[in-house]
Amino acid sequence: MTTMDYATYIAGLPRVLAGAAALFRDAGGRVLLVEPNYREGWALPGGTVESDEGETPREGARRETAEEIGLDVTLGRLLAVDWVHGTDRPPIVAYLYDGGVLTEDDLKAIRLQEEELLSWRLVPREELSAHLLGATLGRVLAALDVLADGSGTAELENGRRVDR
């Protein structure tokens, strides 16, 4: 294959987006959610991986967390990876990392990125379905299960586990 053939081949491949987020909890196990001002529903701190800049999903989750809530923390292990089909956009591969348990001091240090976020709150597992939509809910529940049972990374498609 010549260089031009290879470039044409690469240009013709399907586009896939990557997103990354962090799952933070408090000492009581409640999950930290943020309320975006640009779409319906709540979310985890995170966003799009800037792969054009050479950013990895882990780096993207850390950067987005620092930007969105003002906490720059080293993230723990990968809890879940989710392939989410799109109808009006390319598919997204969503990575979810363990942000750990936040202390009272951490919670007091949260500073929202006002350009994108309206508020934040800590939500118990049994109330997550009232805040999270679609695949995000399944991803968060799978990640909480992985943390609870000490198993490896959960593999999901559209928020549903496929690794069981």
Does residue 61 form part of some domain? yes
Name the residue among 134, 162, 148 with its Cα closest to residue 41: 134
Please tell me the distance from the alpha carbon of residue 23 to that of residue 72, in angstroms, as a whole number.
13
By the 10 Å C-beta count (0-12 exposed, 13-18 middle, 19+ buried), 38 is classed as exposed
Whole-number pLDDT of residue 3: 61
Does residue 126 form part of some domain? yes
Does residue 1 form part of some domain? no
Name the residue among 99, 111, 121, 94 with its Cα closest to residue 34: 121
Whole-number pLDDT of residue 4: 66
pLDDT in tens, the chain (164 residues): 566 688 888 777 778 899 999 999 999 999 999 999 998 899 999 999 998 889 999 999 999 999 999 999 999 999 999 999 988 888 999 999 999 999 999 999 999 999 999 999 999 999 999 999 999 999 999 999 999 999 999 999 999 999 76
Does residue 107 form part of some domain? yes
Q: pTM for this structure?
A: 0.92
Whole-number pLDDT of residue 87: 83
3-state secondary structure the chain: CCHHHHHHHHHCCCCCEEEEEEEEECCCCCEEEEEECCCCCCECCEEECCHHHCCCHHHHHHHHHHHHHCCCCCCCCEEEEEEECCCCCCCEEEEEEEEEECCHHHHHHCCCCCCCEEEEEEECHHHHHHCCCHHHHHHHHHHHHHHHHCCCCEEEECCEECCC
Please tell me the distance from the alpha carbon of residue 36 to that of residue 47, in angstroms, as a whole number.
11
Whole-number pLDDT of residue 52: 82
Does residue 10 form part of some domain? no
Whole-number pLDDT of residue 20: 98
Range of the domain at 44: 16-161
Does residue 65 form part of some domain? yes
